[in-house]
A and B are shown apart, each in its own frame.
Chain A
Amino acid sequence: MDISFFSRGIKLSRQVTSGKIEQIPPSERVVLPLQQGSGPPAELSIEIGDAVEVGQTLARGASNSGADLHASISGEVTAIEDLHFPNGTTVKALVIEGDGKDTWIEPDRDDKPLIASPDELLERIRCGGVIREGGETKSLAQVIDEAMSPRGHLFSTGSTVAKPVRHIAVRFADQDPHLNALAALTATIGDETADLDLGVKVLAAITGAEQIHFVLDNKQNSPGVDKLAEENDYVVLRLDAANYPDLSSPMVARAVSGKEPDTAFKRVHENGILVLDVDTVLQTALAVRDRRPVVDRLITVYGPAGAGVFKARLGTPLADIVSAAGQEKNIGKMVLGGPMKGLAHHTLDFPLTKEIPAITLFAQNQVTLAVNDPCVGCGLCAMVCPIRLTPGMLSRYCEFSSWDLAQEAHLFSCIECGCCAYVCPAGRSMVQFMVQGKTELLSTRRSES
């Protein structure tokens, strides 16, 4: 049964894969958007026509909180073009035509990174172009910055007292049980936990976190990680990934701190809890020790022909990845991300970016269009909502433009997990209503102030 009596959220089935990570060879042409995460776009630091090597910096992120952008193949920067993002924005993107040699730059290695100052470490993370995804996609440097000095938000009282980061939670499985990238990565880590160890220690050194938690799926077998945790007094937490969204950031934060973070306006990491995916931690380690920037990423491809985990260079056309996964036939819908939270995009002609954790594909006959009937008041959504809202009511408020009522009913606490829409028998586009309501409220507030 998809709804449990004992816990909120919904039961999804775990997708099984071979657990291997397949490498996709560098493609001939990559497109790299300057926009990474939700901050300002990076600023170009090379010229069109320059020859670049893999790992060479192409653009610099904002000085304290951005992330740099690096070439993911060697070749020549040929153009800047407009790229349409699935969220409706258009950003500038660099095009690199490859020379097929795949030559890498040689960064200076630093074998003892931990003696560097926190500011230096943070700078290296920024230069390494590390992005945190899972939750809100942002550069890791910005996330850490926000976690350590929470700024006043639009609606909050605006206290700016620096808060120490108390917990860091490292997530070893994807939030959506249909995806496997992190689990596969954890499996390949095996006993070689040096990178993981370093990454965690670097983050702890920067933030001064008191406790590190390793959050795993309860089906995951990871002796190496367990051992590392034991040696360093980290807490290992096993949650049930099949009980979506138990691995989402607010739920993990509750599990590690025993306190529920407020999900409205304040991001979870501003409650003193930093929830990071394991690949972010590994990228951090590479960035501070080897000075190796992020040029590729791990991606789950989940579609009618099953699921697989791939590693591909950033900027690779998604069509290439999809055909490498053998799923190119008969596609009716493509989702950037998992089936529960991903954004649908209308074309495969889109590059792999740092924000895309997965590609979910649906065959033409699997695509169902929203019914969006009126709410019948069955209350299933209220039973599953992990935030304990009454989504049916909220959706009606938003449907009939009663924005203030929606806000009173804690619309902003909604984490857009999609559980309510998953169970709704009337087929309502619940998340659509929630997002619409939030947007509407935020824009009226903005225009008022």
Chain B
Amino acid sequence: MKTLTQEFTKGLWEQIPPFRLVLGLCPTLAVTKSLEGGWGMGLATTFVLVCSNIFISALRNVIPPKVRIATFIVIIATFVVITELVMKAYTPMLSETLGVFIPLIVVNCIILGRAEAFASKNGVGRSLLDGLGIGLGFTLALAVLGALRELLGTGKLTMFAQANLDLTIIPLGEGREFLFKFMVDPPGAFVCLGAMLLLMNLISERSARSKAA
């Protein structure tokens, strides 16, 4: 049995969702055009994940196994709607950027996966930590990917558009919008994701080797 800390930290590296579990790829590919999109999506997902994990683990002995998936979805959908409405009210620009991908959190396989594989088998405390860890890992991954693509693609980093917190890292000439447009195009997402996977594998291979040595 993992310790509670491990339950939390596993989501940040060992099981970091898009890279290690290779789950939740559609938001990963779609919203990481900018740093803002990355962390926004990540936090929204984290919120839903933590709440649904808590609820599902609390109700895990009450939910009849036959209808459990449907029940999970209802619970998840509830929190998704909450998230969506809150975001629309308080962060309209971010909500605009993420568009349809916020409602689509309902079908995000990470959330359903954690519900099925973890929350429905573990206690509330553990589920909370698990959800938080995995959610933050997802946020981290998306933010890194978003930052990378945005930086390469446009030379800028959008921290939070609503508050005008943009950084221009590489200044572009007059009238130019993109540095390397391919990177913010959908195919660029695949290439970046591939590169990140490669990097992750390299690092863990290296560390495994140095551990063995």
Direct contact between A and B in the complex (CB less than 8 angstroms)? Answer: no
Could you list which residues of chain A lie within 8 angstroms of chain B, going by C-beta atoms? none
